[in-house]
Amino acid sequence: MSWKTYNQRIVRYPEFGFSIDLSLMDLSDSDYDMLSPKIDKAFADMAALESGAIANPDEQRMVGHYWLRNPSIAPTPEIQREITEPLESLKAFAEQVHTGVVVPPGGGTFERVLLIGIGGSALGPQLVSEALGQNAKLPLFFLDNTDPAGIDHTLGKLASLGLATTLVLVISKSGGTPETRNGMMETKAAYDAAGLDFGKHTVAITGTGSKLDQFADAHGFIARFPMEDWVGGRTSVLSTVGLVPAALQGIQIDELLSGAAAMDAETRRADVSTNASMQLAIAWYCVGNGKGEKDMVVLPYKDSLVLFSKYLQQLVMESLGKEKDLDGNTVHQGIAVYGNKGSTDQHAYIQQLRDGLNNFFATFIEVRQGRSGPSIEVEPGNTSADFLQGFLRGTRKALYESGRKSITISIPEVTPFQLGSLIALFERAVSFYASLVHINAYHQPGVEAGKKAAGVFLNLLNQVRGHLTADAKTAAEMAYETDSDPEDAYHCLVHLANNGEVQMALGDKPEDDTFQL
């Protein structure tokens, strides 16, 4: 840790108050030299990607999220229109909701929003809402899972506030994600039960022609906004997915886009020494030996950025967590991401970070302004902000003194512009890192496996339902009747017993348990 190294390893963009400090990652000039061929290729890959190359070869798709905040670089006039037209129409829609032009059929105005989505169709909007939605014109509620109790909890809150004045956004790029469909059907049932026309309270954000798009058409949804196949779910927050909910909250979406565009302009330059995203990618590569050997601990010292680690979990781990590289070699790549916020986490897991397993690097996010407005002294001469900064600086130093590395990103305050710039910083770092390790960052084959297995379970569950009788049966007997594995049959029976469909009698062991109608 030295003043000289600090000055050598910091990258600053003074025009928007950004800096990234890599002095505690112990990078050497030889690291950069060793990587220079890969770095050059990463820059070339990025130039091709932004020019419209098929950068997602496994799905034969372009990768266009960088065009969203600078349509002029999009490869065709048609794609430029696919960006600018929905942007104009979503702004107009939000304005019509805010000014009472678009109103609930039962009168009054829309006073809140329920967003139904999952993965990239929820995490981006949740990050933006938590970071910037404190004084939202229409506060945001979320259904982002198929947990009935969670659905009841949220719909119960909304019922007490008034379903009739709640605007529903159903977001699903594929339009077929079961959890989102389930949330929508449960919400529709609640509107139906209240005698309300669900479609006249609902907007869809989905791929044109998707199942959700067809459902929206059949049920007379108020509006539909498109999602394009060249925007991945985990990089969709600056598309209609993130911008519609943000605009409805009254968040300055042009500032979100400008911040991302400003960071893009800096990190589009193929100059390693001043490229913050490339510096991040190189740091990730070196600290993890190009194999993700160290976890990324995300520590924003700002409450409103608490969801940044959850957001980065999807962006980083769904992009980089891949079995094969682009040549078909088995590599099992990835970087594990976790975190919450500082200084809170100093009272949770930072003990292990300081003294335990050295299997991580920290990414501190410093927000230099503690609050807008004056502060009291919490003790003579010191404010809460003094403590927050002290804890950040102290923890960073304490970790380094015990051989634990860290990156410190600094922004002046949390604004739409600054949040947009952070999102862009990490999106491009992921792209660069994927090039450095030669993987496709833009598909997600692994999630299909889980979806398929869920389908197998549901098929067996329905077979088991069909074989239930008043006679008590063991799992083995049910397995025989349904030609299935006894343990699979057992878990179906236990599920049915715990959800009121069958009676379960416990034996000594699961194999002795019996089930009957």
Ligand X SMILES: O=P(O)(O)OC[C@H]1O[C@H](O)[C@H](O)[C@@H](O)[C@@H]1O
How far apart are the C-alpha atoms of 306 and 414, rounded to whole Å? Answer: 12
125 binds ligand X (CB under 6 A): no
Least distance CB 121 / ligand X (angstroms): 4
Radius of gyration of the chain (CA): 25
Q: Of the candidates 23, 56, 121, 482, which one interacts with ligand X according to CB under 6 A?
A: 121
Q: Of the candidates 64, 86, 120, 342, which one interacts with ligand X according to CB under 6 A?
A: 120
- By beta-carbon proximity to ligand X, the closer residue of 23 and 177 is 177
182 binds ligand X (CB under 6 A): no
Q: Which residue is catalytic, options 130, 179, 318, 366?
A: 318
Long-range contact pairs involving 30-37 (C-beta distance under 8 Å, separation at least 24): 31/282, 31/286, 32/272, 32/282, 35/282, 35/285, 35/286, 35/436
Q: Which two tokens stand for residue 171?
A: 């977001």
Contacts of 271 (CB under 8 A, 6+ apart): none
Would you call 318 a catalytic residue per the annotation? Answer: yes
User: Which residue has tokens 């299935």?
Assistant: 484
User: Which residue has tokens 């600290």?
Assistant: 287
Least distance CB 335 / ligand X (angstroms): 17
Buried b (16+ CB within 10 A) or exposed e, 284-321: bbbbbebebebbbbbbbbbebbbbbbbbbbbbbbbbbb
Q: How far is CA 328 from CA 323, 331, 394, 440, in A?
A: 9, 9, 45, 11
Q: What's the CA angle centered on 182, arms 64 and 227, to 5 degrees?
A: 15
How far apart are the C-alpha atoms of 10 and 20, rounded to whole Å? Answer: 6
Residue range at the interface with ligand X (CB under 6 A); choices 32-40, 48-56, 172-180, 335-343: 172-180
- By beta-carbon proximity to ligand X, the closer residue of 13 and 66 is 66
How far apart are the C-alpha atoms of 378 and 386, rounded to whole Å? Answer: 10
| Pairing status of strand 503-505 against strand 514-516 | antiparallel
- By beta-carbon proximity to ligand X, the closer residue of 154 and 180 is 180
Q: Of the candidates 118, 286, 409, 429, which one interacts with ligand X according to CB under 6 A?
A: 118
Q: Which of residues 240-299 bind ligand X (CB under 6 A)?
A: none
- By beta-carbon proximity to ligand X, the closer residue of 59 and 413 is 59
119 binds ligand X (CB under 6 A): yes
Would you call 347 a catalytic residue per the annotation? Answer: yes
Residue range at the interface with ligand X (CB under 6 A); choices 27-35, 115-123, 244-252, 301-309: 115-123
- By beta-carbon proximity to ligand X, the closer residue of 49 and 170 is 170
Q: Which residue is catalytic, options 15, 88, 347, 452?
A: 347
Q: Of the candidates 50, 318, 345, 366, which one interacts with ligand X according to CB under 6 A?
A: 318
Helices (H), 402-415: none
Give the residue at shortest CB distance from ligand X.
233
- By beta-carbon proximity to ligand X, the closer residue of 101 and 447 is 447
Least distance CB 345 / ligand X (angstroms): 27
Q: Which residue is catalytic, options 153, 397, 451, 467?
A: 451
Exposed / middle / buried, residue 449 (Cβ in 10 Å: 0-12, 13-18, 19+):
exposed
Q: Do 407 and 283 meet the contact criterion of CB atoms below 8 Å apart?
A: yes
Least distance CB 118 / ligand X (angstroms): 5
183 binds ligand X (CB under 6 A): no
Q: Which of residues 438-477 bind ligand X (CB under 6 A)?
A: 444, 447
- By beta-carbon proximity to ligand X, the closer residue of 118 and 299 is 118
177 binds ligand X (CB under 6 A): yes
Residue range at the interface with ligand X (CB under 6 A); choices 54-62, 118-126, 257-265, 337-345: 118-126
Q: Which of residues 210-249 bind ligand X (CB under 6 A)?
A: 233-234
- By beta-carbon proximity to ligand X, the closer residue of 336 and 468 is 336
Q: Do 278 and 343 meet the contact criterion of CB atoms below 8 Å apart?
A: no
Cross-strand bridge partners of residue 408: 21, 364
Q: In what order do the strands lie in the sheet with 112-116?
A: 140-143, 112-116, 166-172, 202-207, 223-227
Counting residues that bind ligand X (by CB under 6 A) gives 14
How far apart are the C-alpha atoms of 425 and 410, rounded to whole Å? Answer: 12
- By beta-carbon proximity to ligand X, the closer residue of 324 and 393 is 324
Coil, helix or strand for 313? helix
Q: How far is CA 469 from CA 93, 340, 465, 495, in A?
A: 54, 49, 9, 16
Residue range at the interface with ligand X (CB under 6 A); choices 171-179, 280-288, 388-396, 492-500: 171-179
String of contacts with ligand X for each residue 397-436, x by CB under 6 A:
----------------------------------------
Residues of this chain that interact with ligand X (CB under 6 A) are: 118-121, 172-174, 177, 180, 233-234, 318, 444, 447
Which residues belong to the active site? 318, 347, 451
